[in-house]
Chains A and B, each alone.
Chain A
Amino acid sequence: DAKTTQPTSMDCAEGRAANLPCNHSTISGNEYVYWYRQIHSQGPQYIIHGLKNNETNEMASLIITEDRKSSTLILPHATLRDTAVYYCIVRGNSGGGADGLTFGKGTHLIIQP
Protein backbone atom coordinates (compact mmCIF):
# COMPACT_ATOMS: atom_id res chain seq x y z
CA ASP A 1 0.00 0.00 0.00
CA ALA A 2 1.18 3.52 -0.79
CA LYS A 3 2.56 5.74 1.96
CA THR A 4 0.68 8.86 3.06
CA THR A 5 1.90 12.19 4.47
CA GLN A 6 -0.26 14.34 6.73
CA PRO A 7 0.40 17.42 8.87
CA THR A 8 0.99 16.56 12.51
CA SER A 9 -1.64 18.95 13.81
CA MET A 10 -4.18 21.56 12.73
CA ASP A 11 -6.53 24.02 14.40
CA CYS A 12 -9.96 25.06 13.17
CA ALA A 13 -12.58 27.39 14.62
CA GLU A 14 -15.89 25.89 15.62
CA GLY A 15 -18.50 26.31 12.89
CA ARG A 16 -15.94 26.70 10.14
CA ALA A 17 -15.01 24.10 7.53
CA ALA A 18 -12.04 21.93 8.47
CA ASN A 19 -9.87 20.96 5.51
CA LEU A 20 -7.42 18.14 6.19
CA PRO A 21 -4.83 17.49 3.48
CA CYS A 22 -3.12 14.20 2.63
CA ASN A 23 -0.36 13.45 0.15
CA HIS A 24 -0.13 9.99 -1.43
CA SER A 25 2.11 10.57 -4.41
CA THR A 26 2.91 6.86 -4.95
CA ILE A 27 -0.72 5.72 -5.09
CA SER A 28 -1.46 3.17 -7.78
CA GLY A 29 -4.52 2.88 -9.96
CA ASN A 30 -6.41 0.32 -7.90
CA GLU A 31 -5.76 1.82 -4.48
CA TYR A 32 -8.48 3.53 -2.49
CA VAL A 33 -8.10 6.55 -0.20
CA TYR A 34 -9.69 6.03 3.21
CA TRP A 35 -10.22 8.42 6.10
CA TYR A 36 -10.74 7.39 9.70
CA ARG A 37 -10.69 9.35 12.93
CA GLN A 38 -9.98 8.32 16.49
CA ILE A 39 -11.20 10.14 19.55
CA HIS A 40 -9.16 9.43 22.67
CA SER A 41 -9.65 5.92 24.07
CA GLN A 42 -12.20 4.92 21.42
CA GLY A 43 -11.82 2.73 18.34
CA PRO A 44 -11.19 4.39 14.96
CA GLN A 45 -14.34 5.62 13.25
CA TYR A 46 -14.73 5.17 9.49
CA ILE A 47 -15.48 8.48 7.77
CA ILE A 48 -15.34 8.10 3.99
CA HIS A 49 -13.39 6.52 1.15
CA GLY A 50 -12.95 7.00 -2.60
CA LEU A 51 -11.07 5.81 -5.65
CA LYS A 52 -11.10 8.58 -8.26
CA ASN A 53 -14.22 10.68 -7.90
CA ASN A 54 -15.07 13.09 -5.13
CA GLU A 55 -17.31 11.57 -2.50
CA THR A 56 -19.73 13.02 0.05
CA ASN A 57 -21.66 11.49 2.92
CA GLU A 58 -23.39 12.73 6.03
CA MET A 59 -20.10 13.22 7.84
CA ALA A 60 -17.71 14.70 5.32
CA SER A 61 -16.59 15.26 1.74
CA LEU A 62 -13.52 13.74 0.11
CA ILE A 63 -11.83 15.64 -2.70
CA ILE A 64 -9.26 13.65 -4.71
CA THR A 65 -7.05 15.49 -7.18
CA GLU A 66 -7.20 14.44 -10.81
CA ASP A 67 -3.73 12.86 -10.67
CA ARG A 68 -4.79 11.10 -7.41
CA LYS A 69 -1.56 12.12 -5.69
CA SER A 70 -3.32 14.04 -2.94
CA SER A 71 -6.70 14.41 -1.30
CA THR A 72 -8.54 16.63 1.15
CA LEU A 73 -11.08 15.65 3.77
CA ILE A 74 -13.60 18.40 4.43
CA LEU A 75 -15.72 18.60 7.57
CA PRO A 76 -18.19 21.29 6.52
CA HIS A 77 -19.18 22.74 9.91
CA ALA A 78 -16.72 21.63 12.56
CA THR A 79 -17.91 21.14 16.12
CA LEU A 80 -15.95 20.55 19.32
CA ARG A 81 -16.80 16.85 19.02
CA ASP A 82 -14.76 16.70 15.80
CA THR A 83 -11.55 17.12 17.81
CA ALA A 84 -9.70 13.86 17.09
CA VAL A 85 -6.76 12.29 15.27
CA TYR A 86 -7.59 11.90 11.58
CA TYR A 87 -5.91 9.15 9.56
CA CYS A 88 -5.55 9.12 5.78
CA ILE A 89 -4.92 5.57 4.55
CA VAL A 90 -4.28 4.20 1.08
CA ARG A 91 -5.50 0.66 0.66
CA GLY A 92 -4.99 -1.75 -2.17
CA ASN A 93 -7.63 -3.84 -3.82
CA SER A 94 -5.49 -6.89 -4.48
CA GLY A 95 -7.29 -9.76 -6.01
CA GLY A 96 -8.67 -12.27 -3.58
CA GLY A 97 -9.50 -9.98 -0.73
CA ALA A 98 -8.56 -7.44 1.85
CA ASP A 99 -5.82 -7.05 4.37
CA GLY A 100 -4.94 -4.89 7.31
CA LEU A 101 -5.02 -1.13 7.24
CA THR A 102 -1.72 0.68 7.67
CA PHE A 103 -2.18 3.58 10.08
CA GLY A 104 0.37 6.36 10.19
CA LYS A 105 0.55 9.08 12.82
CA GLY A 106 -2.38 11.06 11.43
CA THR A 107 -3.35 14.70 11.94
CA HIS A 108 -4.45 15.88 15.36
CA LEU A 109 -7.33 18.24 14.57
CA ILE A 110 -8.24 20.62 17.37
CA ILE A 111 -11.50 22.53 17.09
CA GLN A 112 -11.31 25.82 18.94
CA PRO A 113 -14.46 27.33 20.53
Chain B
Amino acid sequence: GDSVTQTEGPVTLSEGTSLTVNCSYETKQYPTLFWYVQYPGEGPQLLFKVPKANEKGSNRGFEATYNKEATSFHLQKASVQESDSAVYYCALSDQGSGTYQRFGTGTKLQVVP
Protein backbone atom coordinates (compact mmCIF):
# COMPACT_ATOMS: atom_id res chain seq x y z
CA GLY B 1 0.00 0.00 0.00
CA ASP B 2 0.87 3.68 -0.06
CA SER B 3 3.27 5.08 2.52
CA VAL B 4 4.98 8.34 3.43
CA THR B 5 8.22 8.58 5.40
CA GLN B 6 9.57 11.88 6.69
CA THR B 7 12.35 13.24 8.91
CA GLU B 8 11.89 12.30 12.52
CA GLY B 9 11.69 15.22 14.87
CA PRO B 10 12.00 17.23 16.85
CA VAL B 11 14.25 19.52 14.85
CA THR B 12 15.67 22.59 16.59
CA LEU B 13 17.17 25.40 14.52
CA SER B 14 18.40 28.91 15.16
CA GLU B 15 16.63 31.80 13.44
CA GLY B 16 18.13 32.56 10.05
CA THR B 17 19.41 29.04 9.38
CA SER B 18 18.18 26.79 6.59
CA LEU B 19 15.66 23.96 6.89
CA THR B 20 15.29 20.66 5.07
CA VAL B 21 12.63 18.15 6.06
CA ASN B 22 12.95 14.96 4.06
CA CYS B 23 9.87 13.23 2.67
CA SER B 24 9.86 10.00 0.67
CA TYR B 25 6.81 8.18 -0.59
CA GLU B 26 5.72 4.85 -2.00
CA THR B 27 2.77 4.39 -4.28
CA LYS B 28 1.93 2.53 -7.46
CA GLN B 29 -0.24 5.37 -8.71
CA TYR B 30 0.35 8.99 -9.75
CA PRO B 31 -0.06 10.99 -6.56
CA THR B 32 -0.65 14.56 -5.66
CA LEU B 33 1.84 15.52 -2.94
CA PHE B 34 1.09 17.89 -0.07
CA TRP B 35 2.80 19.69 2.77
CA TYR B 36 0.59 20.68 5.70
CA VAL B 37 1.58 22.77 8.71
CA GLN B 38 0.04 22.56 12.18
CA TYR B 39 0.49 25.35 14.72
CA PRO B 40 -0.14 24.69 18.44
CA GLY B 41 -3.84 24.42 19.28
CA GLU B 42 -4.90 24.35 15.62
CA GLY B 43 -5.68 21.72 13.02
CA PRO B 44 -3.29 21.13 10.12
CA GLN B 45 -3.61 23.55 7.23
CA LEU B 46 -2.32 23.31 3.68
CA LEU B 47 1.09 24.84 3.07
CA PHE B 48 1.09 23.90 -0.62
CA LYS B 49 0.47 20.97 -2.95
CA VAL B 50 1.95 19.74 -6.23
CA PRO B 51 -0.13 17.53 -8.53
CA LYS B 52 2.44 16.90 -11.22
CA ALA B 53 5.86 15.29 -11.29
CA ASN B 54 8.91 17.55 -11.69
CA GLU B 55 7.00 20.64 -10.61
CA LYS B 56 7.72 22.80 -7.59
CA GLY B 57 5.33 24.10 -4.99
CA SER B 58 5.98 27.05 -2.69
CA ASN B 59 4.38 29.24 -0.07
CA ARG B 60 5.62 31.60 2.71
CA GLY B 61 9.25 30.94 1.69
CA PHE B 62 8.90 27.15 1.86
CA GLU B 63 9.33 25.07 -1.28
CA ALA B 64 9.44 21.46 -2.42
CA THR B 65 9.95 19.73 -5.76
CA TYR B 66 7.97 16.63 -6.73
CA ASN B 67 10.77 14.26 -7.76
CA LYS B 68 9.14 11.21 -9.36
CA GLU B 69 12.41 9.41 -10.08
CA ALA B 70 13.59 9.65 -6.48
CA THR B 71 10.02 9.44 -5.07
CA SER B 72 10.80 12.41 -2.86
CA PHE B 73 9.20 15.72 -1.89
CA HIS B 74 11.63 17.40 0.51
CA LEU B 75 10.55 20.63 2.22
CA GLN B 76 13.10 23.46 2.25
CA LYS B 77 13.36 27.01 3.51
CA ALA B 78 16.43 29.15 3.21
CA SER B 79 16.03 31.15 6.42
CA VAL B 80 13.63 30.07 9.18
CA GLN B 81 11.89 32.41 11.62
CA GLU B 82 10.63 31.78 15.14
CA SER B 83 7.08 31.94 13.73
CA ASP B 84 7.83 28.84 11.62
CA SER B 85 7.83 26.70 14.77
CA ALA B 86 5.15 24.08 14.09
CA VAL B 87 4.63 20.47 13.05
CA TYR B 88 5.01 19.77 9.32
CA TYR B 89 3.26 16.86 7.62
CA CYS B 90 3.99 15.40 4.22
CA ALA B 91 1.01 13.66 2.59
CA LEU B 92 -0.06 12.01 -0.63
CA SER B 93 -3.30 11.17 -2.32
CA ASP B 94 -3.91 9.23 -5.47
CA GLN B 95 -6.67 7.49 -7.31
CA GLY B 96 -5.61 4.15 -5.85
CA SER B 97 -6.36 5.32 -2.32
CA GLY B 98 -9.72 6.73 -3.23
CA THR B 99 -10.39 10.14 -1.86
CA TYR B 100 -8.31 10.08 1.29
CA GLN B 101 -4.82 11.32 1.99
CA ARG B 102 -2.06 9.34 3.66
CA PHE B 103 0.16 11.29 6.03
CA GLY B 104 3.70 10.95 7.29
CA THR B 105 4.48 10.93 10.99
CA GLY B 106 5.04 14.68 11.15
CA THR B 107 8.20 16.67 11.94
CA LYS B 108 8.14 19.08 14.85
CA LEU B 109 10.25 22.17 14.17
CA GLN B 110 11.32 24.53 16.90
CA VAL B 111 13.11 27.71 15.90
CA VAL B 112 15.00 29.50 18.64
CA PRO B 113 16.10 33.15 18.59
Chain A complexes with chain B: no
A residues apposed to B, CB below 8 Å: none
